[in-house]
Chains A and B, each alone.
Chain A
Amino acid sequence: MTKVVQAQINGILIRVPEGTTILEAAKQVQIKIPVLCKHPDLPPEASCGICIVRIKGTNKMLRACCTPVENGMEIITHDPEIIEIRRTVIELILSNHPNDCLKCQRNNDCELQRLTADFGIHSESFPTFLRDIPKDYSTNAIDLDPVKCILCGRCVHVCQNQQNVWALSFLERGMQTRISPAGDIQLADSPCVRCGQCAAHCPTGAIVEKDDTGIVWNALQNKEKYCVVQMAPAVRASIGETFGQIGVNYTKKLYALLRRLGFKAVFDTSFGADITIMEEASEFEERLLKQTRPLPLITSCCPSWVDFMEKFHTDMIENFSSCKSPHEIIGVLSKTYYAEKFKIDPSKIFMVSIMPCTSKKYEIQRSSEMFASGFQDIDAVLCTRELGRMIKQAGIDFENLPEEQADSILGEYSGAGVIFGSTGGVMEAALRTAHYLITGRELEHVEFESVRGLERVKETEVEIDGMKIRVAIAHGLSSVEYVLEKIRQAKLNNTEIPYHLVEVMACPGGCVGGGGQPYMVTDELRVKRAKALYSDDKDKEIRFSHQNPYIKRLYEEYLGKPLGEKSERLLHTTYVPQPLYRK
């Protein structure tokens, strides 16, 4: 049992497990100590100093975010001097920060702005000095404006430790300190995999998703364009947070919303996920039974993971599923299958993807295979946060919208398709269909509890027709190392492969924790978002991709069979090693 320590906060007795920080403990007595560099999802950076508290009877000021409560401590969280110091911390930050709030992408959703308002700072107390550092728009996924950086260190921690990419770093020190890739190059020339985790954790407008709302509004106004849209599984579970609703599934209201914004047809990426499963499970069956290509088969539906592999783990290329990500599949089918069926000129179709993801903004021009329809298959990608802004701009009372259905032929999804948005979801969906492909029988128990949950690496064994199928699931790029190393060692020593099937998602929690999702994510929130998807699955009559009647129809009417000639041409891609640094 953990030891309990006893202390006082503002004169109120508290008992907390040993190791609890003052910041956490204060919540017990209804006190919110202000924080700036501390993100609830990350270990303390202890760089800003706004969270200081006083120990009674001493001159000692301690940082609440990183100081554990000790037995007998008498902690004061607020007094006039503490408040004055906190105000000065903010004022000093503001003296190096542009007054751009009105034109900033984070306006009204910025942690620095909120604190400035809370502390009632209305004038400049220190002369302003702005650094002269160029912006970086190079990635087509995230935009960097280092002048707005308050040096909290969150993005550097996330990029280096959580993602193990090491694209971002702090260069120099003192007044010169800045976030930048090594050697002041642009992010696109660095190892950055565009996961957007830095943007999702940044307290200010220093790193934000590339804003494509303007392009989409223009397309929606353009009479020449036939605008269609699809939304990813994870979006339905998080958009509610824009309006204070947590863990609610808004699928049907989103369909209505997207129509009201002016889209002519509304598709669902979960249907694309069903197609991905048909192709991927077939690939798996081939590799397993016919040994066509090496096992394990590794999933490829996360573009940041693909980018990471092409840069850091090129020896795994042969193990990658060649299947495109679900939204790319809907993209290419909207400009081929759908266009042909509904007699729409595909050159007029403007296809928008609503994604939890910044990486997908870059993916749409990743290689020539993303133009398989003869046009750019996806014209624009909006993150959940951007959709949230568009709802507000359009003045739509989202929560009171009626419920609608998606446009069929690319909209009706199975339960397997919608869990793609959570870590373990792709694996579970693939196992459901692979079981059928391998045995010809349906599973009795469709739920694979062992692949769910937030453990960073999940390893388990599933029995299919007497065969033991070993699987691994990793999320958050720093977790993949362990899995890949095991595979590598087996290859090297020619021993039995440790896994048959591996799922990787770049973002912790999978896409529900994506870099384009609403701010202030924690594991608690990731679980709630995932739950919304799992209950959607549970409520579905059809929970297997291969049973989805629209999937059957798609293959009968158009594609032929999984891994057939047409499927290969439209739904598959290739991978090439990429340099870590282009400069």
Chain B
Amino acid sequence: MENINTEEIKSLIQKWKGKDGNLVMILHEIQNRYGYVPRPVSLEVSKETGIPLARIYEVITFYNYFELCPPAKHTISVCMGTACYLKGAPELLEEIETLLHVQEGQSTEDGQFHVNVVRCLGCCGLAPVVSIDGKIFGKVKKSEIMEILSRYTHEENNVKV
């Protein structure tokens, strides 16, 4: 995790002090700065503002915009457009979920992969389609998933697939 800069947080709080909706604005800036709202930062905000941590988390979890975990290194999108769906996308998703021990919409514990489902990637001719970080893999078979994922894990060499 990145180092938390206490001074930076203090000046941020100072900036929004006494303004309406300041908690949301503070969290907004933190989300932009770190890509998520790290817990130590929330604790710091709570300490500095006197707003209970519970309140801060109520706000963070109410809006989809805020994230509590760092963004994953790689984003896997499984297309569930009609063509992909009919050609076996659900099976691919299941395979990915099993191999990575995650549910769709979640990230792996080590922060390597985020798995989500998308409507249509616009290349139905290649169905079923999976994309990783924007790179398209077409006509994917369930048996190939392991190999595709391992290209990304091998470069890190620290993900067990």
Contacts and interface: CB of A to CB of B under 8 A. Distances in A.
The answer to whether A and B assemble together is: yes
Interface of A: 160, 166-173, 181-183, 580-581
B52 A166 contact: yes
A182 B57 CA distance: 5
A172 B52 contact: no
Interface of B: 39, 42-43, 52-58, 61-62, 68
Given A166-B53, A171-B61, A173-B61, 8 more contacts: A166-B52, A166-B54, A172-B62, A182-B57, A183-B39, A183-B42, A183-B53, A581-B43
Contacts of A580: 53
A181 B56 CA distance: 11
A169 B58 contact: yes
A78 to B, nearest CB: 36
A173 B58 CA distance: 9
A341 to B, nearest CB: 50
A183 B38 CA distance: 11
Nearest to B58: A169
Contacts of A170: 58
A171 B58 CA distance: 5
7 contacts: A160-B52, A167-B54, A173-B62, A181-B54, A182-B57, A183-B53, A183-B68
Contacts of A181: 54
A485 to B, nearest CB: 13
Nearest to A183: B57
Contacts of B42: 182-183
B62 A182 contact: no
Contacts of B54: 160, 166-169, 181-182
A172 B61 contact: yes
B82 to A, nearest CB: 26
Q: Is the interface of B mostly helix, strand, loop or mixed?
A: helix
Contacts of B55: 166, 169
Nearest to A173: B62
A95 B40 CA distance: 38
Nearest to A579: B43
A171 B62 CA distance: 7
Contacts of B68: 183
A171 B52 CA distance: 14
Contacts of B58: 169-171
A580 B57 CA distance: 15
Contacts of B57: 169, 171, 182-183
Contacts of A172: 61-62
Interface core residue of A166, A169, A182 (most chain B CB under 10 Å):
A182
Interface core residue of B43, B58, B61, B68 (most chain A CB under 10 Å):
B61
Contacts of B52: 160, 166
B21 to A, nearest CB: 18
A182 B42 CA distance: 10
Given A183-B39, A183-B68, A581 B53 contact: yes
B37 to A, nearest CB: 10
A328 to B, nearest CB: 30
B90 to A, nearest CB: 20
Contacts of A171: 57-58, 61
Contact of B56 (A168, A173, A182): A182
A169 B57 CA distance: 8
A394 B31 CA distance: 58
Contacts of B56: 182
Contacts of B43: 581
A173 B39 CA distance: 20
B79 to A, nearest CB: 25
Question: Closest 7 CB pairs between A and B?
Answer: A166-B52, A182-B57, A169-B54, A166-B54, A182-B53, A171-B61, A172-B61
Contacts of B39: 183
A160 B56 CA distance: 13
Nearest to B57: A182
B95 to A, nearest CB: 22
B119 to A, nearest CB: 21
Nearest to B43: A581
Nearest to A583: B39
A106 to B, nearest CB: 25
A161 to B, nearest CB: 11
A160 B54 CA distance: 9
B45 to A, nearest CB: 12
A173 B43 CA distance: 22
B70 to A, nearest CB: 15
Contacts of A167: 54
B61 to A, nearest CB: 4
A148 B43 CA distance: 30
A57 to B, nearest CB: 39
Nearest to B52: A166
Contacts of A173: 61-62
A14 B95 CA distance: 67
Contacts of B53: 166, 182-183, 580-581
A181 B55 CA distance: 10
Nearest to A166: B52
A519 B161 CA distance: 52
A182 B40 CA distance: 12
A581 B55 CA distance: 14
Interface core residue of B42, B58, B62 (most chain A CB under 10 Å):
B58
A167 B54 CA distance: 7
A182 B41 CA distance: 13
A477 to B, nearest CB: 13
A308 to B, nearest CB: 13
A168 B54 CA distance: 7
A154 to B, nearest CB: 16
